[in-house]
Amino acid sequence: MTPSHLASLILFAALVSLVFAMLMREDPRARVRFGLMSFAAFVASAIVAGWLMSPFPS
Amino acid sequence: MADTPTAAVVAARPASAVPACLLAWLLPGAGHLYLRRTGKGLIFLGAIGALFILGLAMDSRLQMAVGLDDILASLFSLAQMAIGLPYVIARMLGYEAGRVTSVTFEYGNTFTAVAGLLNILVVLDAYDVAVGRKA
């Protein structure tokens, strides 16, 4: 199985955010909001970090 | 200490915390299923199980490097082992070596280690539910 970097990131962020939301919040609506915020934070921070590293050679 | 609310709850329900934590470690979500938190248990089983299986599918190595020679490798092994029975079963099925040359090798390692680390949080959550700190 060889998903792309972005697909791996999205899979990872979605599954970890789901577990975090179930652990950190009790109310269903708060869980959804927390999960979405966590997912967005994972994806956005990875994209920003990747963009910041892009000028440097591998 | 014995008269604090937490200690009182623990004393009142001593039997459920140990099996709940043990089951939660052996199989993600099993502790919550035992405590009749079916929805939570199934979500933990699905999400953490998926992380672990995806990690294996991405050619993760399941290390067994416990010792003081290489502390980081030991911590990594402990993180993977924290998922319990799936780790043992995967090793028995021959997934222990992984494939270092695979482009997804490091992703796979991350997925399997994070699955184990999340399971530690789930064990702690099962304990909190068992002693009445959480619903």
Q: CB of A35 within 8 A of CB of B47?
A: no
What is the rounded CA–CA span in Å between residue B125 and residue B121? Answer: 6
Give chain A's domain count. 1
What is the rounded CA–CA span in Å between residue B30 and residue B41? Answer: 6
**ipTM of the assembly?**
0.88
In Å, what is the CA distance from B49 to each residue of A2, A36, A55?
19, 21, 37
Q: Measure CA A6 to chain center.
A: 10
What is the rounded CA–CA span in Å between residue B28 and residue B24? Answer: 5
CA angle B30–B95–B59, rounded 5-degree value:
100
Does residue A19 belong to the interface with chain B, where contact is any CB pair within 8 Å?
Answer: yes
Residue B24, pLDDT score: 94
**Domain contains A43:** yes
Does residue A3 belong to the interface with chain B, where contact is any CB pair within 8 Å?
Answer: yes
**Domain contains A44:** yes
**Domain contains A56:** no
Question: B111 and A22 in contact by Cβ < 8 A?
Answer: no
Q: From first to last of its 58 residues, what are the pLDDT tens digits of chain A? A: 788 889 999 999 999 999 999 999 999 999 999 999 999 999 999 999 989 998 887 6
* Nearest CB neighbour to B47, from listed A2, A8, A19: A19
Residue B98, pLDDT score: 86
- Please list every residue in chain A whose beta carbon sits closer than 8 Å to the beta carbon of residue B103: 2
- The length of chain A in residues reads 58
Residue B84, pLDDT score: 94
DSSP state of B46: H
Q: How confident is the model at residue B54 (pLDDT cuts 50, 70, 90)?
A: very high
Average of pLDDT values for B66-77?
A: 88
CA angle B105–B111–B113, rounded 5-degree value:
100
- Please list every residue in chain A whose beta carbon sits closer than 8 Å to the beta carbon of residue B132: none
